[in-house]
């Protein structure tokens, strides 16, 4: 347990801690706020924090972006290649895909919000719940009357 309070350990793990703080801010917005657009924004914050966390795994101290130097014939310069240290390109690729998928889901969510506004005339979660409860109550009373009439 003592190693968790050493400076070296903290310096190596403080980034993860900060990413998680950002993630939890996003989660708090999703859970606490009732406005649906704001919920989507909280989801985006959460998502971007996860991306940063994931990309940070590929970072190498003293490394540079994984783009190779070129020679005069526009081929990769294999001699100059050995001089540099490169960060891991694989997390970058996976996160590129994730960003694009993320914007696709965001746009779908926003379109759903527009439809909800059309049906309920509000985009506040609590108001939508109230309206739904009222609709259910009205339905129950209506069908209760009908079933009484049949008896």
Residues 87-146 that bind other proteins (CB under 8 A): 87-97, 99-108, 110-115, 117-118, 122-124, 126
Q: Which of residues 4-63 bind other proteins (CB under 8 A)?
A: 4, 8-9, 11-18, 20-29, 31-35, 37-38, 40-42, 44-45, 48, 51-52, 55-61, 63
Report the nearest approach of other proteins to the CB of residue 53 (Å): 9
27's tokens: 């989660």
- Nearer of residues 73 and 147 to other proteins, judged by Cβ: 73
Q: Which residue has the tokens 């980034």?
A: 15
Report the nearest approach of other proteins to the CB of residue 138 (Å): 21
N- to C-terminal Cα separation, the chain: 73
Q: Which residues contact 83 (CB under 8 A, 6 or more apart)?
A: none
Report the nearest approach of other proteins to the CB of residue 118 (Å): 7
**Site residue total, other proteins (CB under 8 A):** 89
- Nearer of residues 12 and 144 to other proteins, judged by Cβ: 12
Cα separation of 12 and 53, whole Å? Answer: 13
97's tokens: 């895909």
* For helices 7-32 and 36-57, angle between their N-to-C axes, nearest 10 degrees: 160
């Amino acid at each position: 347990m003592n190693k968790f309070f050493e400076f070296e350990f903290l310096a190596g793990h403080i980034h993860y801690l900060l990413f998680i703080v950002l993630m939890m801010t996003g989660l708090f917005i999703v859970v606490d706020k009732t406005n649906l657009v704001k919920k989507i924004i909280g989801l985006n914050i959460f998502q971007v924090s996860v991306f940063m966390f994931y990309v940070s795994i590929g970072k190498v101290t003293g490394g540079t972006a994984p783009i190779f130097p070129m020679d005069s014939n526009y081929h990769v310069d294999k001699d100059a290649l050995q001089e540099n240290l490169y960060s891991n390109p694989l997390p970058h690729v996976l996160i590129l895909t994730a960003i694009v998928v993320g914007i696709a889901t965001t746009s779908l969510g926003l379109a759903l919000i527009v439809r909800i506004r059309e049906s309920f005339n509000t985009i506040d979660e609590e108001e939508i719940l109230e309206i739904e409860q009222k609709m259910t109550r009205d339905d129950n009373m209506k069908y209760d009357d009908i079933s009484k009439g049949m008896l």
